[in-house]
């Protein structure tokens, strides 16, 4: 973190309470042992890492936390959750930050990361599996970046490393039911969190 953080108790309390309520976790229990960041598979590509993301929440740095690329680089492997000595579901907290970031709108820093995330989820939803060619094509077109890495991509296609025609599973309805169940579970969790927040306000 290079920017100075302007700590204010009220801002800290508001953002911390919001994340705690929506995630069902107690971020303030983190004593920053760095175990989550040490075990994270992609922390080397993150500007902050899981541990510092929790610290941003504790300090009430809402805008910096929601604009961080870290929340979109997180692969959801839950290694951080499994290793946390205080039992914080760090992966769930990161998921909560993604929801809040989506609600807040895209920023220049996260627009391309979010685009890739959205494309991946849509491809899995409609084909039942990931498809490199389909994801790459959509990302290039929607991201208005048609020619970068074109040579490398063409070589992969010519060598048969990337199938051109996406494979679609036969039971797409099962996948759609999984997505529908996830949306319903998320809706219930959000409603419960809002109700809990209303009772404690």
Going from N- to C-terminal start, the domains of the chain cover: 9-109, 111-178
Mean pLDDT of 125-130: 87
Higher pLDDT: 145 or 26? It is 26
Residue 77 has pLDDT above 60, yes or no: yes
Confidence category of residue 145, pLDDT binned at 50, 70, 90:
confident
Residue 113 has pLDDT above 90, yes or no: no
Evaluate the CA torsion angle 140, 146, 152, 155 in order and state its sign. Answer: positive
Length of the chain: 201
- Locate 147 and state its tokens: 């020619």
pLDDT at residue 198 in the model = 66
CATH architecture of 9-109: Orthogonal Bundle (1.10)
Q: What is the mean pLDDT of the chain?
A: 85
pLDDT at residue 114 in the model = 83
Mean pLDDT of 5-27: 80
* Spatial distance between the Cα atoms of 59 and 94, rounded to a whole number of angstroms: 16
* Spatial distance between the Cα atoms of 132 and 90, rounded to a whole number of angstroms: 29
Confidence category of residue 1, pLDDT binned at 50, 70, 90:
very low
CA distances from 133 to 120, 126, 154, 160, 163 (A): 11, 14, 11, 11, 7
pLDDT at residue 200 in the model = 60
* Spatial distance between the Cα atoms of 78 and 92, rounded to a whole number of angstroms: 8
Mean pLDDT of 166-170: 84
Confidence category of residue 43, pLDDT binned at 50, 70, 90:
very high
* Spatial distance between the Cα atoms of 96 and 20, rounded to a whole number of angstroms: 9
* Spatial distance between the Cα atoms of 190 and 196, rounded to a whole number of angstroms: 10
Q: Which of 82-96, 129-143, 158-172, 184-198 has the lowest mean pLDDT?
A: 184-198
Residue in the block written with tokens 């979010």: 114
- Locate 7 and state its tokens: 């700590």
Mean pLDDT of 33-58: 95
Residue 165 has pLDDT above 90, yes or no: no
Q: What is the DSSP string of 126-158?
A: HHSS--HHHHHHHHHHHTT--STTHHHHHHHHH
């Amino acid at each position: 973190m290079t920017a100075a953080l302007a700590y204010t108790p009220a801002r800290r309390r508001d953002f911390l309470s919001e994340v705690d309520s929506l995630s069902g976790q107690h971020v303030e229990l983190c004593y920053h042992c760095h175990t989550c960041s040490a075990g994270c598979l992609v922390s080397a590509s993150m500007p902050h890492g899981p541990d510092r993301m929790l610290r941003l929440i504790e300090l009430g740095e809402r805008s910096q936390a929601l604009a961080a690329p870290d929340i979109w680089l997180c692969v959801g492997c839950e290694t951080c959750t499994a290793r946390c000595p205080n039992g914080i579901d760090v992966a769930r907290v990161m998921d909560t930050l993604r929801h809040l970031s989506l609600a807040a709108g895209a920023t220049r820093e996260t627009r391309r990361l979010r685009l890739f995330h959205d494309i991946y989820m849509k491809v899995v939803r409609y084909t039942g599996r990931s498809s490199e060619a389909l994801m790459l094509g959509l990302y290039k077109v929607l991201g208005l970046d048609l020619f970068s890495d074109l040579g490398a991509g063409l070589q992969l296609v010519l060598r048969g490393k990337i199938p051109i025609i996406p494979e679609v599973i036969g039971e797409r309805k099962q996948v759609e039911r999984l997505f529908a169940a996830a949306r319903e579970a998320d809706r219930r969790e959000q409603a419960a969190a809002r109700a809990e927040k209303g009772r404690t306000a």
